[in-house]
């Protein structure tokens, strides 16, 4: 259950709460206040949109509402934007993607932008557990909390959650959709392209893709261009911090992540800023500063495995092996895939090794090798040296 998401960062950002009633019985048009609203007929479309429900069509331009349930791969909106339409989508609410007693908090109260800043799920190039869309048979595109673009093709608009385990999901996101005909000078716009940004969400998703491909300099440039257009969001600062960290510019990373943390209004985003800032501090050799950041990250999200794992490694770098054992034990208890179990057992064994608790160290080393083969030979070498010291 959600095994593919355990090893990488989780996070979420703010959204505008829309306090309107939603009904899971088709679309509600604000122009007609429901499925029987004015303007319903069987004619063609206006303003670049054809809206179909059952045997009826709506032709009124306006805002449409839809509940997108988390236990369905795709939800039809009944909307059929035509080529050259401006599509604006906003989403709010939270869903559950695991049973109530699941210990990992990132699977609870998941917003439309997802629980993790990493690709995964059914669409590996889109953030895991996030809201996504598709028009006709076109490419699936990320939505998150908001997106705006001009369509290059027509077809039915459908929405879904990027998750491949749907059976234990509950709840729904509330989505508003607005479709209108684009001015002639915008009809060749694609979603998203550098220099044609229409929302911070487009900047974030595009830069994330570049960062994930290892193109950190390009990602930073893209985000700075977005800022130049007046697109200010904590997630943009956060991604700049991540890109700077991955490119090795740790001082700039710390500055961006600190600013993003101050701007952030959601606990997951702030915790992720603290996590990456702690890692950047550690790379600079500022271990006490790193530990302070990671302590705060764990305090904010005590059930998050990434924060606990990184703090355990920072304890190791500081020579504080007892608290490191505690963090690696928590990591092991929360692990849901073999890679995470191997990692936790290896590092806890190494902490025991440094404490001189040889029997416990050997037991963890052996247990790790039963989970996975040693990928780089480090554990095998440590185990060999331990056995030599023990005289076995």
Tens-digit pLDDT profile for residues 309-337: 999 999 999 999 999 999 999 999 988 88
pLDDT grade for 29, boundaries at 50, 70 and 90: very low
Domain closes at, from 186, 208, 228: 186
Average pLDDT, the chain: 76
- Phi then psi dihedrals of residue 185, to 5 deg: -80, -5
> Are 181 and 283 members of one domain?
no
Which of the pair, 392 or 191, is modelled with greater confidence? 392
Q: Is the pLDDT of residue 91 over 80?
A: yes
What is the length of the chain?
392
Which of the pair, 63 or 198, is modelled with greater confidence? 63
- Phi then psi dihedrals of residue 11, to 5 deg: -170, 170
> Are 266 and 167 members of one domain?
no
CA–CA distances in Å: residue 180 to residues 66, 81, 293: 17, 8, 46
Q: What is the pLDDT of residue 346?
A: 96
Residue 264, domain CATH: 1.25.40.10
> Are 297 and 178 members of one domain?
no
Q: Is the pLDDT of residue 195 over 60?
A: no
Q: What is the pLDDT of residue 120?
A: 56
Q: Which residues contact 261 (CB under 8 A, 6 or more apart)?
A: 234, 269, 270, 273, 274, 277
> Are 233 and 373 members of one domain?
yes
Q: What is the pLDDT of residue 119?
A: 52
Tokens of 123: 């669409």
Domain closes at, from 163, 186, 209: 186
Q: Can you give the residue range of the structural domain that contains 132? A: 3-186
Residue 80, domain CATH: 2.60.120.430
Tokens of 33: 């206040």
> Are 257 and 153 members of one domain?
no
- Phi then psi dihedrals of residue 368, to 5 deg: -60, -40
Q: Is the pLDDT of residue 392 over 80?
A: no
Q: What is the pLDDT of residue 276?
A: 94
Report DSSP state, residue 107: G
- Find the range with the poorest average confidence among 229-233, 325-329, 330-334, 372-376: 229-233
d(CA 282, CA 346): 20
Helix (H) or strand (E) run with residue 52 in it: strand 49-53
- Phi then psi dihedrals of residue 78, to 5 deg: 80, 0
| Inside any domain, residue 191 | no
CB of 149 closer than 8 Å to CB of 85: no
| Inside any domain, residue 51 | yes
> Are 157 and 259 members of one domain?
no
User: What is the share, in percent, of the chain residues with pLDDT greater than 90?
Assistant: 36
Q: What is the pLDDT of residue 122?
A: 66
Q: Is the pLDDT of residue 50 over 60?
A: no
d(CA 375, CA 385): 18
How many domains does the chain divide into? 2
> CA 51, 54, 57, 63 torsion: positive or negative?
negative
Helix/strand/coil for 13:
coil
With the CA atoms of 241, 246, 250 and 256 taken in that order, what torsion angle do they form, in degrees rounded to the nearest 10?
A: 0
Predicted confidence (pLDDT) per residue in 92-107, tens digit: 899 998 888 887 777 8
Tokens of 371: 């989970």
CA 277 to chain centroid:
18
CB of 148 closer than 8 Å to CB of 64: no
Count of alpha carbons within 13 angstroms of residue 274, beta-carbon side: 24
Helix/strand/coil for 138:
coil
Helix/strand/coil for 222:
helix
pLDDT grade for 42, boundaries at 50, 70 and 90: very low
33-42, 226-235, 247-256: which is most confident = 247-256
């Amino acid at each position: 259950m959600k095994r593919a998401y355990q090893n990488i960062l989780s996070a979420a950002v703010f959204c505008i709460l829309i306090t309107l009633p939603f009904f899971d019985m088709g679309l509600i048009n604000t122009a007609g206040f429901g499925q029987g609203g004015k303007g319903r007929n069987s004619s063609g479309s206006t303003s670049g949109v054809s809206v179909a429900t059952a045997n009826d069509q709506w032709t009124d331009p306006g805002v449409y509402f839809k509940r997108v349930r988390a236990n369905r791969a795709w939800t039809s909106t009944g909307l059929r934007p035509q080529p050259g339409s401006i599509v604006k989508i906003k989403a709010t609410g939270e869903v559950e993607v695991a049973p109530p007693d699941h210990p990992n908090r990132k699977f609870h109260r998941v917003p439309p932008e997802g629980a993790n800043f990493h690709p995964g799920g059914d669409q590996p190039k889109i953030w895991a557990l996030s809201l996504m869309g598709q028009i006709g048979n076109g490419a699936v595109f990320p939505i998150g909390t908001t997106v705006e673009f001009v369509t290059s093709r027509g077809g039915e608009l459908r929405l879904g959650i990027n998750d491949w385990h749907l059976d234990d999901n509950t709840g729904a996101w509330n989505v508003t959709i607005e479709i209108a005909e684009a001015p002639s000078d915008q009809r060749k716009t694609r979603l998203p392209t550098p220099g044609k940004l229409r929302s911070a969400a487009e900047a974030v998703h595009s830069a994330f893709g570049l960062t994930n491909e290892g193109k950190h300099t390009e990602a930073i440039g893209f985000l700075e261009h977005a800022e130049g257009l007046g697109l200010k969001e904590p997630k943009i600062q956060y991604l700049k911090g991540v890109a700077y960290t991955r490119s090795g510019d740790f001082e700039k990373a710390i500055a961006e992540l600190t600013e993003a943390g101050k701007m952030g209004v959601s606990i997951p985003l702030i915790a992720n800023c603290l996590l990456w800032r702690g890692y950047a501090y550690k790379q600079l050799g500022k271990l006490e500063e790193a530990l302070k950041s990671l302590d705060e990250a764990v305090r904010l999200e005590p059930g998050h495995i990434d924060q606990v794992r990184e703090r355990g490694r920072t304890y190791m770098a500081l020579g504080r092996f007892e608290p490191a054992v505690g963090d690696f034990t928590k990591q092991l208890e929360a692990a849901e895939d073999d890679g995470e179990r191997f990692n936790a057992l290896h590092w806890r064994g190494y902490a025991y090794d440094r404490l001189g608790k040889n029997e416990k160290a050997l037991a963890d080393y052996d247990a790790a090798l039963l989970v996975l083969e040693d990928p780089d030979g480090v554990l095998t070498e440590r185990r060999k040296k331990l056995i030599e010291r023990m005289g076995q």
